Structure 1
């Protein structure tokens, strides 16, 4: 390129980080495109079937470690971080209330994909005005990109034992996006892994999906089961889902670095439809049209109405016994799909089991009271 000599790329890199902040990104980092040391781990993960039904992970595996094949001439990746943690995330109060629906906190508001991609595009436009020639391409989960290894190389954080990126000043409550460019910007220093001997995320996982440090078996992961998986959820995992109907945050909640989590400055990520405190029965009462209307512009919409009903049915089965729950499950059972029906049958059986246990407990309690009363003095 003719501008290689005329442009001060160090100055340009500093401007890019400033522009990124102006566009609403929390942090910008820059790295080269060498991901060759990640190919073996990716191949092993796929060979073990840890990707589950995510067939797209098997396609274009070479592209994942060769960004230059996504945009010919790519020399650098500009990695962007955007915080999404809301001021009062109500983690414990929602998880502890079995009548409420727990939705992963990243999905409470607007879908981040378009929002971040549009801002990355604007960043590319700003950069192009300072170059005689520039090819760029933004990505936000829209192509086979190893975003976490790239972000790690760009100094945005390190990949933790739960496989998510951790930043020592912001925890892990953030989204990532990339802008591929064909100019030789100076690169940032990679982050150093600071997990140490901590295994809190591994121990807390309800389904033991983190099979070894830095390796997640998606087939056991609640986020995969409730979002990516489109079929029947194995019986062995259903009770472990609790009231989590879309994703799971447990491994992040227990991570000590998340005490540094940064509150988002983006209003679009604030909860819609009271998704942070909504009742399961209220959501289960939605028609398909209500689901489509209420999830317009939300990442939740991507799972579709059938999986939405499936997930809520399981959560209702895990809820405390209620005649109202059994009634509503039975009503939906009359006109749902066979796949949803299987989960409703399981949920009804769970509720009836709890009813029997409550009745048995009540009988035992009454018997104990009568026994005690018989032994009391007449004037007691």
Structure 2
């Protein structure tokens, strides 16, 4: 088989099925990445969501024996929302990060990868392949960088010449020896805007992320949010876009190429107070189709409670008092008490004082005490 010609056929087919960009890389060991991952572990910079060992994440042959190349794909997503509702007094809203707008990208990219894989099998019967999106062992960014999709920016995102960093990534490891593409030159240069703009200093230096400080990670945790980050998340319910929105390479980048990625404004910019009483069934029906729902409703509700405290929204007081007194989840009770303290009217402090007498969970009591400290400031 002429692999160069077959590569051109695969590229042409990828356009037919709605893949915005495709690149080809060798399946060699990702040696530089291996060193970086080891340093990440040593510095405790990992999120804990990573899959596989360092070797599995950097040696494609461990995932597919006999692998010879990796096909990397990218699909662009919008950076601007049409008809975005306004957050106003009495109707404060939270926000999901752009990467969670529209239908869960894992499903959309898997569909494209499955079609691409079927095409390979049809034309190359001896093909072996393994595809993955985001939750696989390989680093989507490292593969995309090697395959010439874009360069890895200081904000730790792949930046493409065409779409900026607003792209989803996926890959197929295969035993077909496709000719590799050339990497794209890094063009961040001296620009350090993203590093300086990160609200929590999670970008330790250009291209290195301390995931434990990253708001995108923190919004997905289920425990009490550490104190130092509570004033930083603002009204974010899931994820963070700061390091992308400030990037000059993303200026005027807004692509609406896939209907699946178009956001429902009421879903990705929802009113905060209704989130506090939403049932599991309602949550699944409303938010289940988007990627930001994967951790369930508890982190979203915790973040919504913090956002209401951030806004000092007095219209939320009754609902927060109800949660503080009645919710069976300690994280929700305690966070509600903290935000009541931030809102800080007489009803808030009286409710906390009444509740703390009956509370039995030591961690919740600590949060109630934090809430009462605002009365002294």
Structure 2 length as normaliser, TM-score? 0.86
Range moving further from structure 2, 272-281 or 175-184: 272-281
Establish whether residue 49 from structure 1 lines up as the match of residue 40 from structure 2: no
Please, which of 205, 224, 233 is the counterpart of residue 241 of structure 1?
233
Aligned to 1:259: 251
Distance change in 2, residues 1:40/1:247 (3 Å): same
Farther-moved stretch of structure 1 (333-342 vs 104-113) = 333-342
Which of 128, 146, 156 is the equivalent residue of 1:153?
Answer: 146
Q: Is the 8 A contact 1:169 1:260 kept in 2?
A: no
Note the residue ranges of structure 1 that are not aligned, 5 or more in a row.
Answer: 1-6, 357-380
Shift in Å at residue 354 of structure 1?
A: 11
Matched-pair contact (CA < 8 Å) for 1:307–1:340: no
Look up the match of 2:340: 348
Partner of 1:272: 264
- Give the match for residue 327 of structure 1: 318
User: Would you say the 8 A contact 1:89–1:105 is kept in 2?
Assistant: no
2: CA distance, partners of 1:186 / 1:193? 22
Equivalence for 1:181: 174
The 2-side partners of 1:86 and 1:244 are apart by 16
Cα contact 2:79–2:166 (8 A) shared by 1: no
Distance 1:351 1:162 in 2: 34
Distance 2:84 2:154 in 1: 21
Q: Deviations over 1:208-265 (max 9, x none)?
A: 11111111111111100012x2222101100110001110101100000112524131
User: Is 1:25 paired with 2:19?
Assistant: yes
* Secondary structure, counterpart of 1:128 in structure 2: helix
Give the Cα separation in 2 of the matches to 1:182 and 1:116: 21
Scaled by the length of structure 1, what TM-score is found? Answer: 0.85
Equivalent residues of 2:96, 2:269 under 8 A apart: no
Q: 1:132: how far off? A: 3.9
Corresponding position of 2:126: 133
Cα deviation, 1:328-355, whole Å, max 9, x if unaligned, reads 2112223320012221111111111799
Report the alpha carbon displacement of residue 39 of structure 1 after superposing the two structures with TM.
0.9
1:172 pairs with one of 151, 161, 165: 165
Compared CA separation, residues 115 and 92, structure 1 to 2 (3 A): same
Q: 1:223 to 1:214 in 2, by over 3 A?
A: same
Task: Specify the SS of the correspondent of 2:22.
Answer: strand
Structure 1 pair 99–153 and aligned structure 2 pair: CA distance change class (3 A)? same
2:34 aligned residue: 39
Alignment of 1:192-231 (within 5 A): 192-227=185-220, 229-231=221-223
Deviation at 1:99, TM superposition (A): 1.8
Q: CA deviation at 1:93?
A: 6.3
Give the C-alpha shift of residue 169 in structure 1. 1.8
Select which of 91, 95, 111 maps to 1:118. Answer: 111
Unaligned runs of 5+ in 2: 349-377
